[in-house]
Structure 1
Amino acid sequence: MFKKLGKKQLLGILTAAAIVVTTVGSFAVWDTLSASKNASLTLDKPVTVTAGAEDVTFTAGARTLETANTYTADNLKFDVSMGDNAVTNPQLALETKVIIEENSTKTDVTDAFTISLKKADTELTGGVDTTVKDGENLYTVVLTPNEPSEPNSNPNYTKVLEAATAGTALKVEVTGTLSAGTGE
Protein backbone atom coordinates (compact mmCIF):
# COMPACT_ATOMS: atom_id res chain seq x y z
CA MET A 1 0.00 0.00 0.00
CA PHE A 2 2.77 2.42 0.87
CA LYS A 3 5.81 2.69 -1.25
CA LYS A 4 9.11 2.90 0.46
CA LEU A 5 10.87 6.19 -0.21
CA GLY A 6 14.52 6.42 -0.98
CA LYS A 7 16.93 8.64 0.98
CA LYS A 8 16.97 11.35 -1.73
CA GLN A 9 13.20 11.48 -2.01
CA LEU A 10 12.77 11.63 1.75
CA LEU A 11 15.39 14.37 2.01
CA GLY A 12 13.61 16.40 -0.70
CA ILE A 13 10.27 16.19 1.10
CA LEU A 14 11.82 17.17 4.44
CA THR A 15 13.62 20.15 2.86
CA ALA A 16 10.38 21.40 1.29
CA ALA A 17 8.54 21.04 4.60
CA ALA A 18 11.31 22.97 6.40
CA ILE A 19 11.06 25.85 3.89
CA VAL A 20 7.27 26.06 4.34
CA VAL A 21 7.56 26.05 8.13
CA THR A 22 10.29 28.72 8.07
CA THR A 23 8.31 30.98 5.69
CA VAL A 24 5.07 30.71 7.65
CA GLY A 25 6.82 31.25 10.95
CA SER A 26 8.81 34.35 9.85
CA PHE A 27 6.06 36.91 10.56
CA ALA A 28 4.18 37.47 13.74
CA VAL A 29 0.42 37.89 13.77
CA TRP A 30 0.76 41.55 14.76
CA ASP A 31 3.12 42.49 11.88
CA THR A 32 1.71 44.92 9.28
CA LEU A 33 2.81 43.77 5.85
CA SER A 34 0.86 46.11 3.50
CA ALA A 35 -0.99 49.43 3.51
CA SER A 36 -3.37 51.38 1.25
CA LYS A 37 -4.01 55.07 0.77
CA ASN A 38 -7.12 56.56 -0.81
CA ALA A 39 -7.03 59.83 -2.70
CA SER A 40 -9.60 61.95 -4.54
CA LEU A 41 -9.11 62.70 -8.24
CA THR A 42 -11.10 65.41 -10.03
CA LEU A 43 -10.69 65.30 -13.80
CA ASP A 44 -10.56 68.49 -15.86
CA LYS A 45 -13.71 69.25 -17.80
CA PRO A 46 -13.36 68.28 -21.47
CA VAL A 47 -12.73 70.86 -24.17
CA THR A 48 -15.91 71.06 -26.28
CA VAL A 49 -17.26 72.82 -29.34
CA THR A 50 -21.04 72.79 -29.71
CA ALA A 51 -23.11 74.26 -32.52
CA GLY A 52 -25.82 76.60 -31.26
CA ALA A 53 -29.25 75.04 -30.88
CA GLU A 54 -31.03 77.80 -32.78
CA ASP A 55 -31.95 77.27 -36.42
CA VAL A 56 -29.71 79.13 -38.85
CA THR A 57 -31.72 81.05 -41.42
CA PHE A 58 -30.41 82.44 -44.70
CA THR A 59 -32.00 85.56 -46.13
CA ALA A 60 -31.66 86.63 -49.75
CA GLY A 61 -30.23 90.00 -50.64
CA ALA A 62 -31.99 92.42 -52.99
CA ARG A 63 -32.28 90.95 -56.47
CA THR A 64 -30.64 92.78 -59.36
CA LEU A 65 -31.01 91.60 -62.92
CA GLU A 66 -27.89 89.84 -64.29
CA THR A 67 -26.16 89.92 -60.87
CA ALA A 68 -25.67 86.93 -58.60
CA ASN A 69 -27.70 87.30 -55.43
CA THR A 70 -26.16 86.87 -52.00
CA TYR A 71 -27.63 84.76 -49.20
CA THR A 72 -26.72 85.68 -45.63
CA ALA A 73 -27.11 83.94 -42.27
CA ASP A 74 -25.98 86.08 -39.36
CA ASN A 75 -27.01 83.81 -36.52
CA LEU A 76 -24.47 80.98 -36.70
CA LYS A 77 -23.31 80.21 -33.16
CA PHE A 78 -20.62 77.94 -31.79
CA ASP A 79 -20.29 77.50 -28.03
CA VAL A 80 -16.71 76.77 -27.01
CA SER A 81 -15.57 75.47 -23.63
CA MET A 82 -11.77 75.39 -23.39
CA GLY A 83 -11.30 74.75 -19.68
CA ASP A 84 -8.56 76.48 -17.72
CA ASN A 85 -5.72 77.28 -20.12
CA ALA A 86 -6.18 73.95 -21.91
CA VAL A 87 -5.76 75.52 -25.35
CA THR A 88 -3.02 78.05 -26.08
CA ASN A 89 -3.74 80.54 -28.87
CA PRO A 90 -7.13 78.95 -29.63
CA GLN A 91 -8.52 79.13 -33.13
CA LEU A 92 -11.75 77.82 -34.60
CA ALA A 93 -11.62 76.68 -38.24
CA LEU A 94 -15.01 76.90 -39.93
CA GLU A 95 -15.56 74.65 -42.93
CA THR A 96 -18.66 75.30 -45.01
CA LYS A 97 -20.29 72.81 -47.37
CA VAL A 98 -23.31 73.31 -49.60
CA ILE A 99 -25.15 70.09 -50.41
CA ILE A 100 -28.11 69.11 -52.55
CA GLU A 101 -30.00 66.18 -51.03
CA GLU A 102 -32.30 64.25 -53.32
CA ASN A 103 -33.75 60.91 -52.27
CA SER A 104 -30.76 59.23 -50.59
CA THR A 105 -28.16 61.01 -52.74
CA LYS A 106 -26.02 63.88 -51.47
CA THR A 107 -24.20 66.08 -53.97
CA ASP A 108 -21.55 68.50 -52.72
CA VAL A 109 -21.96 71.72 -54.74
CA THR A 110 -19.74 73.93 -52.57
CA ASP A 111 -17.55 74.83 -55.56
CA ALA A 112 -20.55 76.56 -57.16
CA PHE A 113 -20.46 79.27 -54.43
CA THR A 114 -18.19 81.97 -53.09
CA ILE A 115 -18.32 81.64 -49.30
CA SER A 116 -17.50 84.44 -46.89
CA LEU A 117 -17.33 83.95 -43.12
CA LYS A 118 -17.31 86.89 -40.72
CA LYS A 119 -17.14 87.50 -36.99
CA ALA A 120 -18.81 90.83 -36.26
CA ASP A 121 -17.70 92.86 -39.31
CA THR A 122 -14.30 91.18 -39.67
CA GLU A 123 -13.78 88.70 -42.49
CA LEU A 124 -12.20 85.43 -41.33
CA THR A 125 -9.15 84.68 -43.47
CA GLY A 126 -9.40 81.10 -44.67
CA GLY A 127 -12.49 80.67 -42.48
CA VAL A 128 -10.35 80.63 -39.31
CA ASP A 129 -11.30 82.62 -36.21
CA THR A 130 -8.10 83.43 -34.31
CA THR A 131 -10.04 85.44 -31.70
CA VAL A 132 -12.25 82.58 -30.54
CA LYS A 133 -13.29 82.98 -26.91
CA ASP A 134 -14.59 80.70 -24.22
CA GLY A 135 -18.38 80.76 -24.46
CA GLU A 136 -20.60 81.83 -27.35
CA ASN A 137 -19.03 82.86 -30.67
CA LEU A 138 -21.34 84.37 -33.31
CA TYR A 139 -20.60 84.25 -37.05
CA THR A 140 -22.08 85.41 -40.34
CA VAL A 141 -22.05 83.23 -43.46
CA VAL A 142 -22.51 84.81 -46.89
CA LEU A 143 -23.04 82.60 -49.94
CA THR A 144 -22.93 83.87 -53.52
CA PRO A 145 -23.49 81.52 -56.47
CA ASN A 146 -20.54 81.54 -58.92
CA GLU A 147 -21.65 81.66 -62.50
CA PRO A 148 -18.91 80.01 -64.56
CA SER A 149 -17.25 82.04 -67.31
CA GLU A 150 -17.93 79.23 -69.79
CA PRO A 151 -21.52 77.90 -69.99
CA ASN A 152 -21.85 74.37 -68.56
CA SER A 153 -18.18 74.34 -67.45
CA ASN A 154 -19.16 73.66 -63.83
CA PRO A 155 -21.69 70.82 -63.62
CA ASN A 156 -22.35 71.68 -59.95
CA TYR A 157 -23.46 75.20 -60.90
CA THR A 158 -25.89 73.61 -63.37
CA LYS A 159 -27.20 71.38 -60.54
CA VAL A 160 -27.65 74.47 -58.32
CA LEU A 161 -29.67 76.17 -61.10
CA GLU A 162 -31.78 73.03 -61.51
CA ALA A 163 -32.40 72.90 -57.75
CA ALA A 164 -33.38 76.59 -57.72
CA THR A 165 -35.77 76.06 -60.63
CA ALA A 166 -37.33 73.03 -58.89
CA GLY A 167 -37.58 74.87 -55.56
CA THR A 168 -35.28 72.35 -53.86
CA ALA A 169 -33.72 73.68 -50.66
CA LEU A 170 -29.96 73.32 -50.37
CA LYS A 171 -28.35 72.17 -47.15
CA VAL A 172 -25.56 74.35 -45.76
CA GLU A 173 -23.33 72.61 -43.24
CA VAL A 174 -20.75 74.54 -41.22
CA THR A 175 -18.31 72.55 -39.09
CA GLY A 176 -16.25 74.28 -36.41
CA THR A 177 -12.98 72.62 -35.34
CA LEU A 178 -11.01 73.99 -32.40
CA SER A 179 -7.21 73.78 -32.33
CA ALA A 180 -4.21 75.43 -30.76
CA GLY A 181 -2.67 78.11 -32.95
CA THR A 182 1.05 78.45 -33.56
CA GLY A 183 1.35 82.17 -32.77
CA GLU A 184 -0.52 85.13 -31.46
Structure 2
Amino acid sequence: MIYLVLSCRYLLGGVFLVSLVGKLRSRAAYSEFVAATGALLGVVDRTARWAARATVAAEVVIVCALIAEPVARAGLGLAALLLGCFTVALTRALRRGSTTPCRCFGASTTPIRVEHAMRSAVLGSIALGGLLIDLTLATHRYELAGIAVSVPAVAAGILLTTRLDDVADLLR
Protein backbone atom coordinates (compact mmCIF):
# COMPACT_ATOMS: atom_id res chain seq x y z
CA MET A 1 0.00 0.00 0.00
CA ILE A 2 2.91 2.37 0.52
CA TYR A 3 3.54 2.42 -3.22
CA LEU A 4 -0.10 3.21 -3.90
CA VAL A 5 0.15 6.22 -1.59
CA LEU A 6 3.48 7.22 -3.13
CA SER A 7 1.92 6.95 -6.60
CA CYS A 8 -1.04 9.10 -5.51
CA ARG A 9 1.33 11.72 -4.11
CA TYR A 10 3.54 11.86 -7.16
CA LEU A 11 0.64 11.75 -9.63
CA LEU A 12 -0.97 14.72 -7.91
CA GLY A 13 2.36 16.50 -7.50
CA GLY A 14 3.12 16.02 -11.20
CA VAL A 15 -0.31 17.21 -12.29
CA PHE A 16 -0.07 20.33 -10.12
CA LEU A 17 3.48 20.97 -11.34
CA VAL A 18 2.38 20.79 -14.99
CA SER A 19 -0.50 23.09 -14.09
CA LEU A 20 1.87 25.62 -12.52
CA VAL A 21 4.25 25.57 -15.47
CA GLY A 22 1.35 26.06 -17.88
CA LYS A 23 0.01 29.05 -15.96
CA LEU A 24 3.36 30.69 -15.22
CA ARG A 25 5.26 30.01 -18.44
CA SER A 26 4.65 33.57 -19.66
CA ARG A 27 2.93 36.79 -18.71
CA ALA A 28 0.30 36.16 -21.39
CA ALA A 29 -0.43 32.66 -20.08
CA TYR A 30 -0.92 33.98 -16.56
CA SER A 31 -3.18 36.80 -17.82
CA GLU A 32 -5.29 34.27 -19.71
CA PHE A 33 -5.51 32.15 -16.56
CA VAL A 34 -6.66 35.17 -14.52
CA ALA A 35 -9.29 36.04 -17.13
CA ALA A 36 -10.53 32.43 -17.27
CA THR A 37 -10.65 32.31 -13.47
CA GLY A 38 -12.84 35.40 -13.40
CA ALA A 39 -15.14 34.05 -16.10
CA LEU A 40 -15.44 30.63 -14.47
CA LEU A 41 -16.20 32.11 -11.07
CA GLY A 42 -18.36 34.89 -12.47
CA VAL A 43 -16.42 37.58 -10.60
CA VAL A 44 -14.83 40.95 -11.34
CA ASP A 45 -11.16 41.47 -12.22
CA ARG A 46 -9.92 42.25 -8.71
CA THR A 47 -11.48 39.11 -7.25
CA ALA A 48 -10.28 37.07 -10.23
CA ARG A 49 -6.71 38.25 -9.66
CA TRP A 50 -6.94 37.34 -5.98
CA ALA A 51 -8.41 33.89 -6.76
CA ALA A 52 -5.74 33.24 -9.41
CA ARG A 53 -2.93 34.19 -6.99
CA ALA A 54 -4.44 32.04 -4.26
CA THR A 55 -4.70 29.11 -6.68
CA VAL A 56 -1.07 29.40 -7.76
CA ALA A 57 0.11 29.74 -4.16
CA ALA A 58 -1.92 26.71 -3.09
CA GLU A 59 -0.54 24.66 -5.98
CA VAL A 60 3.05 25.57 -5.04
CA VAL A 61 2.45 24.56 -1.42
CA ILE A 62 0.80 21.30 -2.51
CA VAL A 63 3.63 20.32 -4.88
CA CYS A 64 6.24 20.98 -2.19
CA ALA A 65 4.25 19.16 0.49
CA LEU A 66 3.61 16.10 -1.68
CA ILE A 67 7.32 15.69 -2.31
CA ALA A 68 8.40 15.99 1.33
CA GLU A 69 7.63 12.88 3.38
CA PRO A 70 7.05 14.61 6.72
CA VAL A 71 4.27 16.83 5.32
CA ALA A 72 2.91 14.58 2.58
CA ARG A 73 -0.33 13.95 4.47
CA ALA A 74 -0.95 17.69 4.65
CA GLY A 75 -0.24 17.88 0.92
CA LEU A 76 -2.79 15.17 0.18
CA GLY A 77 -5.37 16.91 2.36
CA LEU A 78 -4.74 20.31 0.74
CA ALA A 79 -4.87 18.73 -2.71
CA ALA A 80 -8.24 17.13 -1.90
CA LEU A 81 -9.57 20.47 -0.65
CA LEU A 82 -8.33 22.47 -3.65
CA LEU A 83 -9.59 19.88 -6.13
CA GLY A 84 -12.96 19.94 -4.38
CA CYS A 85 -13.04 23.71 -4.90
CA PHE A 86 -12.13 23.24 -8.57
CA THR A 87 -14.91 20.68 -8.98
CA VAL A 88 -17.49 23.00 -7.45
CA ALA A 89 -16.32 26.01 -9.49
CA LEU A 90 -16.34 24.06 -12.76
CA THR A 91 -19.75 22.52 -12.04
CA ARG A 92 -21.25 25.92 -11.24
CA ALA A 93 -19.75 27.42 -14.41
CA LEU A 94 -21.15 24.56 -16.49
CA ARG A 95 -24.60 25.08 -14.97
CA ARG A 96 -24.40 28.78 -15.90
CA GLY A 97 -23.63 27.73 -19.48
CA SER A 98 -20.10 29.11 -19.47
CA THR A 99 -18.01 28.47 -22.57
CA THR A 100 -14.80 29.80 -21.04
CA PRO A 101 -11.74 27.73 -21.94
CA CYS A 102 -10.32 25.65 -19.14
CA ARG A 103 -6.90 27.17 -18.47
CA CYS A 104 -6.10 24.53 -15.85
CA PHE A 105 -2.88 23.65 -17.65
CA GLY A 106 -2.30 26.85 -19.55
CA ALA A 107 -3.00 27.34 -23.22
CA SER A 108 -6.10 25.26 -23.88
CA THR A 109 -8.79 26.92 -25.96
CA THR A 110 -11.29 24.12 -25.37
CA PRO A 111 -14.41 25.39 -23.59
CA ILE A 112 -15.03 23.77 -20.22
CA ARG A 113 -16.83 20.48 -20.40
CA VAL A 114 -18.14 17.93 -17.95
CA GLU A 115 -14.84 16.06 -18.35
CA HIS A 116 -12.99 18.92 -16.66
CA ALA A 117 -15.20 18.78 -13.58
CA MET A 118 -14.95 14.99 -13.57
CA ARG A 119 -11.15 15.17 -13.79
CA SER A 120 -11.05 17.43 -10.73
CA ALA A 121 -13.44 15.15 -8.84
CA VAL A 122 -11.41 12.03 -9.68
CA LEU A 123 -8.14 13.71 -8.72
CA GLY A 124 -9.76 14.89 -5.48
CA SER A 125 -10.85 11.32 -4.78
CA ILE A 126 -7.31 10.11 -5.43
CA ALA A 127 -5.97 12.69 -2.97
CA LEU A 128 -8.52 11.76 -0.31
CA GLY A 129 -8.02 8.03 -0.88
CA GLY A 130 -4.25 8.42 -0.68
CA LEU A 131 -4.60 10.33 2.57
CA LEU A 132 -6.90 7.74 4.12
CA ILE A 133 -4.64 4.87 3.13
CA ASP A 134 -1.58 6.75 4.36
CA LEU A 135 -3.19 7.20 7.77
CA THR A 136 -3.29 3.40 8.12
CA LEU A 137 0.41 2.90 7.35
CA ALA A 138 2.85 2.30 10.18
CA THR A 139 5.97 2.90 8.11
CA HIS A 140 7.11 4.62 4.93
CA ARG A 141 10.10 2.54 3.88
CA TYR A 142 10.49 2.27 0.14
CA GLU A 143 12.41 -0.22 -1.97
CA LEU A 144 13.98 0.90 -5.23
CA ALA A 145 12.17 -1.86 -7.17
CA GLY A 146 8.78 -0.67 -5.93
CA ILE A 147 9.56 2.90 -6.91
CA ALA A 148 10.76 1.74 -10.34
CA VAL A 149 7.44 -0.02 -10.96
CA SER A 150 5.45 3.03 -9.80
CA VAL A 151 7.22 5.58 -12.00
CA PRO A 152 5.82 4.52 -15.41
CA ALA A 153 2.28 4.34 -14.05
CA VAL A 154 2.60 7.79 -12.49
CA ALA A 155 4.07 9.25 -15.69
CA ALA A 156 1.23 7.78 -17.77
CA GLY A 157 -1.31 9.13 -15.29
CA ILE A 158 0.17 12.62 -15.41
CA LEU A 159 0.21 12.57 -19.21
CA LEU A 160 -3.38 11.35 -19.51
CA THR A 161 -4.63 13.78 -16.89
CA THR A 162 -2.93 16.85 -18.27
CA ARG A 163 -3.81 16.03 -21.88
CA LEU A 164 -7.47 15.24 -21.14
CA ASP A 165 -8.81 17.46 -23.92
CA ASP A 166 -6.71 15.64 -26.52
CA VAL A 167 -7.66 12.21 -25.18
CA ALA A 168 -11.37 13.11 -25.07
CA ASP A 169 -11.26 14.49 -28.62
CA LEU A 170 -9.48 11.36 -29.81
CA LEU A 171 -12.18 9.13 -28.32
CA ARG A 172 -15.08 11.11 -29.79
TM range (shorter): under 0.3
For the pair shown, which has the larger CA radius of gyration, 1 or 2?
1
Higher helix proportion (structure 1 or 2): 2
TM-score (norm 1): 0.21
